[in-house]
Amino acid sequence: MEKPVITKEKVKPLLETGFLNVYDLQYKEGKHYFNASRRKLSDLAAVRTDDAYQKMLPDAVSCVVIVELPDREPMLLLAYEYRYPTGRYLLGVPAGLIDPEDRECEDPILTTAAREIQEETGFVIGEGDTLKVLSPLLFSTPGMTDESNALALAVIRRDNLDQMSQSGALGQELFAGFEMLTLDQARKVLADGRDKYGNFYSMYTWAGLMVFCSGMWK
Same domain (yes/no): 75, 117 = yes
**Would residue 157 count as lying in a domain?**
yes
Domains contained in the chain, number = 2
For residues 107 and 186, what is the distance between their CA atoms, to the nearest angstrom? 30
What pLDDT shows up at residue 169? 83
Q: Is residue 1 part of a domain?
A: no
Three-state DSSP at 179 gives strand
163 and 70, same structural domain? yes
pLDDT, tens digit (0-9, with 9 covering 90-100), for 143-152: 999 999 999 9
| Residue 20 forms part of a structural domain | yes
| 68 lies in the same domain as 146 | yes
Domain that holds residue 28: 8-48
Handedness of CA 189, 196, 150, 26 (dihedral sign): positive
pLDDT tens digits, one per residue of 55-90: 999 999 999 999 999 999 999 999 999 999 999 999
Under the banding of pLDDT at 50, 70 and 90, the label for residue 126 is very high
In terms of domains, do 15 and 68 share one? Answer: no
* CB-based contacts of 21, cutoff 8 Å, min separation 6: 13, 15, 36, 37, 38, 39, 40, 41
Band (pLDDT 50/70/90 cuts) for residue 3 is confident
Residues 34 and 124 placed together within one structural domain of the fold? no
- Do 121 and 157 lie in one domain? The reply is yes
Instruction: Give me the amino acid identity at 76.
Output: L
The Cα 103–Cα 97 span in angstroms is 11
pTM of the model: 0.94
